[in-house]
């Protein structure tokens, strides 16, 4: 390091404490600074100027930001998705991009199951009825049991496997999965997305957002789904065409949806989807518990420290 202290810059705030980052990076001979950029490319470029490593949540790390950071060795994403980081530009500049895929697995899987059950049991509708003073044991909307039905998982990584394990007790008769990269366990049937949409009663999305998966669930695939099907998305908002989803739900061509993620975030509260009572929404909080937040900060800081020590990150994405 030539006696010069390295600098690690976090481009987004949002955590209560940064003690883990400061201690882990100090041990690697670096100073940690927090420069909240609030999604501004201009602010990110200014903050990155002297950084040896960037740590980021949601702000854009574009080619312009990387060009403004000649000392930058790596960008570490606080989380799994890296669609806000220009990986090709980073590769061109020999800047490593790393993420933290091994945190919050229990939390996101729990969120997926919670959303699925809330939609299946129409909790939003019945909660509103009770709060409005309307008490009836009659049928407000049809509900169907999960036992014997078909579960469909788009993506079969850590979170999807945990979601599958959590849902196993509900007695699904079949489990379908689309993930060409995954080795599927016994009892899980490999299929393509179209067949999964046609045959599954509960469809849970666990795929990354890439140019190939943007609007993976579009009007055509929504039209393939059963009118009793439920769609859950705890992965990335861009996987689903929100306008097409609204049209399908409003027309009764789909039973309901549970969404923790949107494109863009935050979404427009005036979007007609939010007026529907067969949709349960949360604010991209599936990753969170106090334990997972601490895990995420520690694991991200450990990746940055590895880079500063001249090592490669455990989860290096844009390899050359």
Taking only the tens place, the pLDDT of each residue in 96-125 is 999 999 999 999 999 999 999 999 999 999
Q: What is the CATH number of the domain that holds 144?
A: 3.40.50.720
At residue 258, the 3 state secondary structure works out as strand
Question: Is residue 208 a contact partner of residue 154, using CB atoms and an 8 Å limit?
Answer: no
Q: Is residue 12 part of a domain?
A: yes
Active site residue 284: yes
Q: Are residues 254 and 266 in the same domain?
A: yes
Domain with 230, as residue range(s), is 105-281
At residue 10, the 3 state secondary structure works out as strand
Q: Which of 38, 42, 121, 265 is catalytic?
A: 265
Q: Are residues 153 and 240 in the same domain?
A: yes
- Given a cut of 90, whether residue 1 has pLDDT beyond it is no
Tell me the pLDDT of the chain averaged across its residues. Answer: 96
Question: Is residue 270 a contact partner of residue 243, using CB atoms and an 8 Å limit?
Answer: no
- Given a cut of 70, whether residue 185 has pLDDT beyond it is yes
Q: Are residues 92 and 115 in the same domain?
A: no
Q: Is residue 242 part of a domain?
A: yes
- Given a cut of 50, whether residue 89 has pLDDT beyond it is yes
The predicted-structure confidence for 262-298, as pLDDT tens digits, reads as follows: 999 999 999 999 999 999 999 999 999 999 999 999 9
Q: Are residues 78 and 115 in the same domain?
A: no
Q: What is the pLDDT of residue 63?
A: 98
Question: Is residue 202 a contact partner of residue 149, using CB atoms and an 8 Å limit?
Answer: yes
Q: Quick one: pLDDT band at residue 137, thresholds 50, 70, 90?
A: confident
Q: Are residues 97 and 110 in the same domain?
A: no
Q: Are residues 257 and 127 in the same domain?
A: yes
Cite the DSSP H helix spans in 79-218: 87-92, 105-120, 123-131, 158-167, 193-199
Q: Is residue 24 part of a domain?
A: yes
Q: Are residues 154 and 120 in the same domain?
A: yes
- Given a cut of 80, whether residue 204 has pLDDT beyond it is yes
Q: Is residue 219 part of a domain?
A: yes
Q: Is residue 318 part of a domain?
A: no
Q: Are residues 149 and 201 in the same domain?
A: yes
Q: What is the pLDDT of residue 256?
A: 98
- Secondary structure letter of residue 312 according to DSSP: P
Question: Is residue 170 a contact partner of residue 146, using CB atoms and an 8 Å limit?
Answer: yes
Q: What is the pLDDT of residue 223?
A: 98
Distance of CA 308 to the CA centre of its chain: 28
Q: Are residues 120 and 245 in the same domain?
A: yes
Q: Which of 6, 77, 122, 236 is catalytic?
A: 236
Q: Are residues 78 and 148 in the same domain?
A: no
Q: Are residues 109 and 98 in the same domain?
A: no
What is the secondary structure of 146-169 as a DSSP string?
-TT-EEEEE--SHHHHHHHHHHGG
Place of tokens 């090592």: 311
Q: What is the pLDDT of residue 136?
A: 84
Please give the tally of structural domains in the chain. Answer: 2
Q: Are residues 95 and 110 in the same domain?
A: no
Q: CA–CA separation, 77 vs 300, rounded Å?
A: 7
- Given a cut of 90, whether residue 138 has pLDDT beyond it is no
Q: Is residue 320 part of a domain?
A: no
The predicted-structure confidence for 139-164, as pLDDT tens digits, reads as follows: 999 999 999 999 999 999 999 999 99
Q: What is the pLDDT of residue 2?
A: 47
- Secondary structure letter of residue 316 according to DSSP: B
Q: Is residue 1 part of a domain?
A: no
Q: Which of 284, 302, 303, 306 is catalytic?
A: 284
Q: Is residue 317 part of a domain?
A: no
Joined together, the tokens standing for residue 71 give 């000392």
- Given a cut of 80, whether residue 3 has pLDDT beyond it is no
């Amino acid at each position: 390091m030539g006696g010069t202290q390295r600098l690690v810059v976090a481009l987004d705030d949002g955590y209560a404490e940064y003690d883990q980052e400061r201690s882990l990076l100090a041990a690697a001979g670096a100073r940690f600074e927090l420069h909240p950029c609030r999604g501004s490319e201009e602010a990110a470029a200014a903050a990155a100027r002297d950084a040896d490593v960037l740590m980021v949540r949601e702000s854009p790390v574009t080619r312009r930001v990387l060009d403004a950071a000649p000392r930058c060795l790596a960008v570490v994403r606080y989380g799994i998705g890296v669609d806000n980081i220009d990986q090709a530009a980073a590769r061109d500049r020999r800047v490593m991009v790393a993420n933290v895929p091994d945190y919050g697995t229990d939390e996101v899987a729990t969120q997926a199951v919670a959303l699925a059950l809330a939609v299946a049991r129409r909790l939003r509708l019945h909660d509103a009825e009770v709060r409005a003073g309307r008490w009836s044991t009659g049928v407000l909307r049809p509900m169907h049991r999960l036992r014997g039905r078909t579960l469909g998982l788009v993506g079969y990584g850590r979170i999807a496997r945990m979601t599958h394990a959590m849902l196993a007790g509900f007695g699904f008769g079949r489990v379908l999965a689309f993930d060409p990269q995954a080795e599927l366990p016994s009892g899980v049937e490999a299929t393509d997305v179209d067949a999964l949409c046609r045959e599954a009663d509960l469809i849970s999305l666990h795929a990354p957002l890439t140019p190939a998966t943007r609007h993976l669930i579009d009007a055509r695939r929504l039209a393939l789904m059963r009118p009793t099907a439920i769609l859950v998305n705890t992965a990335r908002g861009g996987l689903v065409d929100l306008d097409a989803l609204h049209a399908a739900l409003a027309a009764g061509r789909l039973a309901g949806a549970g969404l923790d993620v949107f494109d863009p975030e935050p979404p427009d509260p005036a979007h007609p989807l939010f007026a529907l009572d067969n949709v349960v929404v949360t604010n991209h909080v599936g990753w969170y518990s106090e334990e997972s937040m601490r895990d995420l900060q520690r694991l991200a800081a450990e990746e940055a420290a590895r880079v500063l020590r001249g090592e490669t990150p455990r989860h290096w994405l844009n390899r050359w």
